[in-house]
Chains A and B, each alone.
Chain A
Amino acid sequence: MAELGFVIAMSVMTLFWGIIGGVVPWFIPKGPNRGVIVTMLVLTAVCCYLFWLIAILAQLNPLFGPSLSTDTIWYLNYHWP
């Protein structure tokens, strides 16, 4: 169950940024700005995907959990699934 959530998130994001960085550049019309636009797309895809990847990998196998105050625990026990 946990694995499935992770796999779905990973595939969706990889596909999304992969399309932006790898597929869309082929469809940019020829013109004086084509080079700049393609560079921008590829760099954006790489930077944003990497940033998201670091965030999710850092939380994949947590070595310790959050410390919550007892009030918060009481609230979360009843209101979060």
Chain B
Amino acid sequence: MCSLLRGEEMCLAQLFLQSGSAYDCINELGELGLVEFRDLNPGVNAFQRKHVNEIKKCEEMERILEVKKADISLPEGDVNPVAPLPKHVMAIMEQLQRLEVELGEVTRNKEKLQRNLLELTEYTHMLRTTRNFVQRTSEVSVFISGLIQRTKIEAFERMLWRVCKGYTILSYAEVEEYLEDPDTGEPTKSVVFLISYWGDQIGQKVKKICDCYHCHLYPYPSSNEERTDVVEGLRTRIQDLHTVLHRTDDYLKQVLMKASESVYTWVIQVKKMKAIYFILNLCSFDVTNKCLIAEVWCPVNDIPTLRRALEEGSRKSGATVPSFVNRIPTNDTPPTLIRTNKFTSGFQNIVDAYGVGNYREVNPAPFTIITFPFLFAVMFGDLGHGVIMALFALWMVLYENNRKLKNTRNEIWNTFFEGRYIILMMGLFSIYTGLIYNDCFSKSLNIFGSGWSVKAMFEAKVWKDADIRGNRVLTLDPNVTGVFRGPYPLGIDPIWNLASNRLTFLNSYKMKMSVILGVIHMSFGVILSTYNYLHFRKKHSLYLVFLPELLFLLCLFGYLVFMIFYKWLVFTAKDSRLAPSILIHFINMFLMQAPTLHRLGMYRVRFDFADEFLHQAIHTIEYCLGCVSNTASYLRLWALSLAHAQLSEVLWTMVMRVGLRMDTSLGVFFLVPVFGLFAVLTVSILLVMEGLSAFLHALRLHWVEFQNKFYSGTGVKFCPFSFSLLPSSFEHDGLL
């Protein structure tokens, strides 16, 4: 608990690493993720560092792997290979280059075969189609045949006519199936054409025009027997080609599969190596030039583990002289480390989003675990919506180890998934506040029987039967005996859901509730500042800052809270005419204060420490005005809960009730889409939109009104050197 309340105690340590075992020691530290390295060569730029060549080699390997990643599949389990030794690096490099060359060759071969197949297919089509053309049996004419893209055929025809002017005859027909264009890979429609012409010169011109339009020309058979022979030959060749292509595909798949087993390992290994060399660049040599010195921030409790890791590293590298660690004193402020588990990390994240705490100051997170969902629930309070939210969060929590849920690319889903425990707490508290507000999908539950009795109004002869027939709305009078039989034991009385002056009562109740909760929350924040004053040995602050702050807050706003409770307890229905307005009373109290402020002003002139006093005066004025504005800020608890209740009621009245009121048998079928619409609107507007809104406002109340009473949040987070924190490039590219 000490760690979550305050953060770990950190120290600065010096590591003395033998040059032979430096790589292994840093490897060990990277696996454990214990310490944060400081840069001992801040003036040196990246290209002048000692291990710049090794880092260049690593980046070269990463480049090759980058290209291959897109083709291969991903491994099933969680693999964690260790970083390779420098002597193994060359072997990996060679393997990678060989793989690159092989893959390149196979792909080129496959392309060639595919082009071949396309030519043969086109030839077959051409032969088949031209068989149907009218045969000109003139011996003088020469035939040219081929295929051209459908989009170009008209221009082709026009050009032929213009150039050759009737010395050529062109016939063409479209090919039914789509053929794949080898350059773009898109299916295109082609047209088979047959040109017959006389004369050599015309032949040249025709050939030039065909070239221009990128036609694929094939030899035209002179007789039918020749045609059938060629067709037979083509058919066998196409079959062979299909087989060869099939085999090539299989081979390519095999190569890729074999590669994929190792590529993932290689990616991680290269990343780890690069990280180790990066850290080695941060270290400096000592005077004898045989030993590497590194400065690290380390939690005091982890120093024994650090020693053991260095021993392990030295042993692995077979060094004779072991590396050791030495704690050194420092005046620098260490970074802040707060150890969290999967439950507390969500809440710590929302505190850190405002600002990481200073070293060893009080951490608001352990209190936020409960107060944040509670304030959310005060604004969200609906039993039915709370149940849905809690069930959704429970599903995420129970299946949190499911890989598919954990590792999706969707940013919005990841945000919800990371906050699954927060959403679970919010849902559970919303169930409780929904029970107290007596609001379940805008309807009230009547578990214990209402405290208000209509019958008593009739029995006391205040209302007569004629009254019901005449008037539209009648008000119950609590002064009449038997009408009000005591407060409802669990929450708001269900009769208020049926009343037309419901909001008059609820608004008064919720505003007072907001002020009470706000003052208590803020007092709690002021009291937490005592922890900081005591820890940092600022006892004078305890008397000069904390005590005046608390007195101011409690004497003014504590008095307001006292008045609220007093009015609730003392004034009954009999004195309803005499019950004073708390707000008017409070404002009057403030207005009477004005003259005394002048007297305070005169004392200021006597103080000599102008600077310190100015700072203190600003803080005092800020605090006092802040108290007023912050207390008013808590009224958003009332505002949002009112908005939620009203939206819920509107949805019920305008959607669900319309479906339920149809009492014909058609109403049964009508109810199904109406309920569907009701469910969709409930989830999208009331759960998602209102949920996000209440989340935001609860967060603001914590960040501003609560935390500015004691939290500075200007610290630096402890970022240990750890291989598990390196982003895997798979995740980076969204493939994982």
Q: Indicate if the CB atoms of B498 and A72 lie closer than 8 Å.
A: yes
A70 vs B464: C-alpha distance in the bound complex, in angstroms? Answer: 12
B433 at the interface (CB under 8 A from A): yes
What per-residue 1/0 map shows which CB atoms of B458-495 lie under 8 Å from chain A? 10000100011101111111100001111111111101
Complex interface: chain A residues within 8 A of B449 (CB): 80-81
Q: Indicate if the CB atoms of A40 and B476 lie closer than 8 Å.
A: no
A35 at the interface (CB under 8 A from B): yes
B196 at the interface (CB under 8 A from A): no
Complex interface: chain B residues within 8 A of A8 (CB): 489
Complex interface: chain A residues within 8 A of B433 (CB): 51
A58 vs B486: C-alpha distance in the bound complex, in angstroms? Answer: 12
Contacts A77-B454, A80-B453 known; A43 to B367 CB distance under 8 Å?
Answer: yes
B605 at the interface (CB under 8 A from A): no
Contacts A6-B486, A52-B491 known; A66 to B573 CB distance under 8 Å?
Answer: no
Q: Indicate if the CB atoms of A47 and B483 lie closer than 8 Å.
A: no
CB-based nearest B residue for A3: B486
Complex interface: chain A residues within 8 A of B579 (CB): 63
Contacts A48-B432, A66-B476 known; A59 to B573 CB distance under 8 Å?
Answer: no
Interface 9-residue window, one of B160-168, B251-259, B368-376: B368-376
Q: Indicate if the CB atoms of A77 and B455 lie closer than 8 Å.
A: yes
B349 at the interface (CB under 8 A from A): no
A50 at the interface (CB under 8 A from B): yes
Contacts A47-B370, A63-B576 known; A54 to B500 CB distance under 8 Å?
Answer: no
CB-based nearest B residue for A2: B486
* CB-contacts of A65-80 with B (<8 A): 65-70, 72-74, 76-77, 80
B450 at the interface (CB under 8 A from A): yes
CB B378 to nearest CB in A, in angstroms, measures 7
A63 vs B549: C-alpha distance in the bound complex, in angstroms? Answer: 36
Interface size, A (range): 35 or more
A44 vs B4: C-alpha distance in the bound complex, in angstroms? Answer: 18
Q: Indicate if the CB atoms of A69 and B472 lie closer than 8 Å.
A: yes
B366 at the interface (CB under 8 A from A): yes
CB B579 to nearest CB in A, in angstroms, measures 6
B118 at the interface (CB under 8 A from A): no
Most chain B beta-carbon neighbours within 10 Å: one of A57, A62, A65 = A65
Complex interface: chain A residues within 8 A of B504 (CB): 64
CB B550 to nearest CB in A, in angstroms, measures 18
Q: Indicate if the CB atoms of A50 and B517 lie closer than 8 Å.
A: yes
CB-based nearest B residue for A74: B468
Residue from B436, B500, B568 in contact with A51 in the complex, judged by beta carbons closer than 8 Å: B436
A18 vs B181: C-alpha distance in the bound complex, in angstroms? Answer: 80
CB B316 to nearest CB in A, in angstroms, measures 31
Q: Indicate if the CB atoms of A80 and B450 lie closer than 8 Å.
A: yes
A32 vs B491: C-alpha distance in the bound complex, in angstroms? Answer: 37
Q: Indicate if the CB atoms of A68 and B474 lie closer than 8 Å.
A: yes
Complex interface: chain B residues within 8 A of A2 (CB): 451, 484-486
* CB-contacts of B550-572 with A (<8 A): 565, 568-572
Q: A55-B491, A58-B508, A65-B478 are in contact. List 9 more A-B contacts (CB 8 A).
A: A5-B489, A33-B341, A58-B509, A61-B573, A62-B484, A65-B483, A67-B499, A69-B472, A76-B498
By a beta-carbon cutoff of 8 Å, the part of chain B in contact with chain A is 1-2, 4-5, 341, 344, 366-367, 369-371, 374, 378, 432-433, 436-437, 449-455, 458, 463, 467-469, 471-478, 483-493, 495-496, 498-502, 504-505, 508-509, 512-513, 516-517, 520, 565, 568-573, 576, 579
* Interface CB pairs A-B, < 8 A, 27: A2-B451, A2-B486, A5-B486, A6-B489, A36-B4, A36-B366, A39-B369, A43-B369, A51-B374, A51-B378, A51-B432, A52-B491, A54-B516, A56-B487, A57-B565, A59-B487, A60-B487, A61-B568, A63-B478, A63-B572, A63-B576, A65-B475, A65-B478, A68-B498, A68-B499, A70-B474, A76-B498
